[in-house]
Amino acid sequence: MSIKALKFGGSSLADAEHFKKVAAIIKADESRRYVVASAPGKRYADDIKVTDMLYACFKAVRKKQDIEPHFAKIEQRYNQIISELGIDFSLDEEFAKIKYAINHYVGEDYIASRGEYLNSMILAKYLGFDFIDAEDGIFFKENGTFDSERTNDELSAILLQHERAVIPGFYGTMPNGTIKTFSRGGSDITGSIVARAVDAELYENWTDVSGMLMADPRIVKNPKVIRVITYNELRELSYMGATVLHDEAIFPVREARIPINIRNTNAPEDEGTMIVPFADKPNENVITGVAGKVGFSIINIDKSMMNSEVGFGKKVLKVIENHEICFEHLPSGIDTMSVVVSTSDIDAIREDMVNEMFRKTKADYINIEDGLALIAVVGRSMVSQIGTAGRVFSALGNAGVNIKMIDQGSSELSIIVGVNEAEYATTINAIYKEFVKTNE
Ligand code: ADP
Ligand code: ASP
Ligand code: MG
């Protein structure tokens, strides 16, 4: 029998109504056998995700505050789901264990992970599937990175003993037995790990939109759905803020060449987006999508004759490395070099870093500009279309946007522009309108 692995996001498991939709989807296809669940997400715009409520418990206990008011709300969310589903099931013992652990200063990751743990227990019970704890089959290495080979061997052996199972997303185990989570949105990664472990023919990622959209729907009105996108394009877009799928979620399935299908739990009849290793057809709009993020800073370093100074770039990057910062882009000119970094990464160390950079590089001038937004225009078809960059720049010129930085990777899969944060939405809308014919 063919096997499909599925992941349901927090928005798809926020309340009992959604649990019912999820069960109907799973029961509609008997190859849907391995299901990864997230913690309950938002039920309405200003609701709070259970994961955020758990982080709040952690903060409260560190401040020596009573966690009871926080934890009571979490219990209530799960109890309401259980009672509205009408199942004979109680999480009271689990609640007591978790509360005890929180009050005894267990780690933040353990606390955060309980959101998916509890929700998966309910879903397994409701579906009549086995519950398999992610802590038994998903492993991290000593340095905190994901241990893909150990995980694949052990998880595969466990899961294939079960005909049908629910696995909590978002976490795994460190070599010393403590729980560690992936970064936020990490249940998408668990879904991909499970798909690989069971050698699924397809990884269905069920969420609250009918696929990956050409732009963030909170910025562009009614953006078009992307029907087919490659792993590489998706990674560029999701890394740059198209958060519908975690950017690291493609790695496990890419190795096994398992396609991902993004689907809408609230509109299961929609085909959604297929994420595939290679696409044979070009994109009708030339670009596949546009995405962006705010919160970047640009460090500008000027020094006359820098172009003929062997090893200048190395000295700059060494300082960045000494402060354990990852950089995003490195645009450069004859006498200038710039490093684009996340503002939150440099906030606490900016003065030290600039002083060290002056000392090590003997630069004439160094300054840091904050408030930069980065926008990625992504498309596999851009490489064969002359003039794409020109269209991006003239669209931005016509919209009155000042471009502060440009970067194009050698693969020509993306063009990145840096603009003032205040022009973030204008930039995304201008690029979208340039490539997609809208009726407005
Ligand atoms: P889940 O709870 O299923 O994990 P997420 O909230 O993580 O869902 O991701 C889905 C959300 O991602 C959508 O509701 C949408 O607001 C947002 N989003 C941002 N950019 C895009 C995009 N390009 N395409 C689709 N959704 C996007
Ligand atoms: N619940 C976690 C979060 O809110 C993981 C996830 O939803 O994928 O980040
Ligand atoms: Mg998500």
> What is the rounded CA–CA span in Å between residue 250 and residue 236?
11
> What is the rounded CA–CA span in Å between residue 296 and residue 405?
12
| Ligand index nearest the alpha carbon of residue 119 | 2
> What is the rounded CA–CA span in Å between residue 340 and residue 294?
12
Atom from ligand 2 closest to the CA of residue 170: 5
Atom from ligand 1 closest to the CA of residue 246: 7
| Ligand index nearest the alpha carbon of residue 289 | 1
Classify burial at 272, counting beta carbons within 10 Å of its beta carbon; exposed 0-12, middle 13-18, buried 19 or more: buried
Q: Ligand 1 within 6 A of 218 CB?
A: yes
Q: Ligand 1 within 6 A of 244 CB?
A: yes
pLDDT recorded at residue 94: 97
Q: Ligand 1 within 6 A of 11 CB?
A: yes
pLDDT, averaged in runs of 10, over the chain (440 residues)? 94 98 98 98 97 95 91 97 98 96 91 98 98 98 97 97 98 97 98 98 97 95 95 93 92 94 98 93 90 97 92 95 94 92 96 96 96 96 86 96 89 92 98 85
Residue whose tokens read 């939405």: 425
Residue 418 in tokens: 């840096």
318 alpha carbon to ligand 3 midpoint, in Å?
35
Atom from ligand 1 closest to the CA of residue 218: 16
Q: What's 32's DSSP letter?
A: E
134 alpha carbon to ligand 2 midpoint, in Å?
14
Ligand 1 pocket mutation, candidates 170, 207, 263, 294, criterion most atoms within 8 A of CB: 207
pLDDT recorded at residue 106: 87
Residue 80 in tokens: 């309401």
Q: Which domains does the chain have, with CATH numbers?
A: 4-208 (3.40.1160.10), 289-435 (3.30.2130.10)
CB 22 within 8 A of CB 265: yes
Q: Ligand 1 within 6 A of 120 CB?
A: no
The torsion of the CA quartet 86, 92, 93, 98, rounded to 10 degrees, works out to: 120
pLDDT recorded at residue 81: 98
Ligand 2 pocket mutation, candidates 13, 49, 171, criterion most atoms within 8 A of CB: 49
Helix (H) or strand (E) holding 236: helix 231-239
In this prediction the pTM is 0.91
Ligand 2 shell residues, CB under 6 Å: 9-10, 38-39, 49, 51, 115, 169-170, 184-188
Q: DSSP secondary structure string, 294-308?
A: EEEEEEEEE-TTGGG
Classify burial at 406, counting beta carbons within 10 Å of its beta carbon; exposed 0-12, middle 13-18, buried 19 or more: middle
Q: What separation, in Å, do the N-terminal and C-terminal C-alpha atoms of the chain show?
A: 48
Classify burial at 236, counting beta carbons within 10 Å of its beta carbon; exposed 0-12, middle 13-18, buried 19 or more: buried
What residues contact residue 30 under an 8 Å CB cut-off, 6+ apart? Answer: 1
Residue ID of nearest Cα to ligand 1 atom 4: 9
pLDDT recorded at residue 410: 74
Q: Ligand 1 within 6 A of 209 CB?
A: yes
Environment of ion ligand 3 (residues, CB < 5 A)? 9, 185
Please name the amino acid found at residue 36. Answer: V
Q: Ligand 1 within 6 A of 116 CB?
A: no
- Pairing relation of β-strands 130-131 and 260-264? unpaired
